[in-house]
Structure 1
Amino acid sequence: MEKKELDSVAQAIVQFIRGDPKRYRSITNFKSNIPSKLRKQIGILKNSEDQDVIKIINSIKPQPFIYTKIFPRGERKYISTYTPIELCLQCITEYPQLTINQISTKLPFKKEELTQILNVLIKEGKIGIEIELKVGNRSKWVFKLKSEVTPITNYNSDRTELKRAYDNLERGRGYVEIYEIREHLKWERDQFDNLLETLWVQGDIVLQTSNQESLTQKQRDDSFLDRENTLRILLLWSGM
């Protein structure tokens, strides 16, 4: 398939996935409902194995310009062209004052993954928590947007720039020291840290500890301190 045709097919896949009101589709839904012309172009059958479908999508998707990710939840797998942060924000925008259990039924994440995403959004000041008193004096936690928030507009460009810097600095090691990539990008600390945390929550990168003895104090300061006050030294790119 030539590049022009490949780009056209990739865009058609994106439009099809985004055509679902939930903004994501299960792999079963994808196999069953994909338009026949597109099905022939990419060679997917209704009885294709899920792993084969995922491989085809991953080989065609227009990375890094459009985010595409497979979310496993139990026995089912889901695909979306929105980031987990964007999906969560859009859900809370459409259905304000939801409990975590209610949010969980509307999104393709495991509850522990959803908890991490909500914690990131709370830390960034995008959502707040309120206690609502129900009939019989029973209370529940609900999540609300703190103000009118649009999805992260610079996410794709920032992610692309970070990945480009990682590829330039990795040099066959399989990792990059976080202080190296921070120094290379010269971003504001919050911009860099927030993107790292978002990518870590989404499973696109792994942040690891390592021996600090060989680092200067500045290099330690330019590493990444996580929520448990553990200093993360190494960044490994695990996503696409």
Structure 2
Amino acid sequence: MNMSGAGKTAIVTGASSGIGRYSAIALLNEGWNVVITARRYEALQETQKMSSNPDNCLCLTGEITDEDFVMKLFDQTISKFGRLDLLFNNAGISSAQVPIENLSLDDFQKVLNTNLVGPFICTREAVRQFKTQSPPGGRIINNGSLSAHVPRPYSYAYTISKHAMNGLTKCTSLDGRAFNITCTQIDIGNAATEMGGRHGVGALQPDGRTIQEGVLDVQHVASTIVHISSLPPDVTVLNVNIMPTNIPYIGRG
């Protein structure tokens, strides 16, 4: 079996379920060393056991909004595996779809902290490591969303956080250029996970209807992550979109 990631190391955040879980498994199955992190240790262990190379996996629990934890996450990764080649900023949350006048500041800040502040801290630490290791360089993939471009109704916190992810992606790609650091944003529509799969049951449209939308097998997302991660460091995929063919996207309905 040709393992394209043999000897390489990745950190995947939000790996206890969904896109993070299946991307981590796909990387492990390709021979990567993978450090997976989330808040639920038992769920991380389940992710580890689902791969064909569980011995290449390190589970670390904590909050990616906690700066001290993130710094320890990177320290333990380097201590265990010696270097870092990939960071997948995947962890994210959403809030209830409500009019802005019903959205609390606390709920808004929770989404921004998880979806933007956490990836910022992780990106900072990854770039620090990429610049100092030998040979220098590495790749970051940010989990965006179709909402990074076109919002759903009543999605202020989530949409704002994902629009801001565009800025983080572009800044990282620009400033990393001289150091062999690449950055990609993957904008995913309706993957069959706990977060995205619910749109296959019914999703609110701009005209007020609730309709069943198409969903995408999460394995296609995971294989896309593996493909981007396998590219040589002189190749950058700045943005990639993957979604069901029949999903309402342009115009959102």
- Structure 1 and Structure 2 fold alike (TM over 0.5): no
Length-normalised TM-score, structure 1: 0.29
Length-normalised TM-score, structure 2: 0.28
**Greater relative contact order (Cα < 8 A, sep 6+):** 2
Mark the structure with the bigger radius of gyration.
1
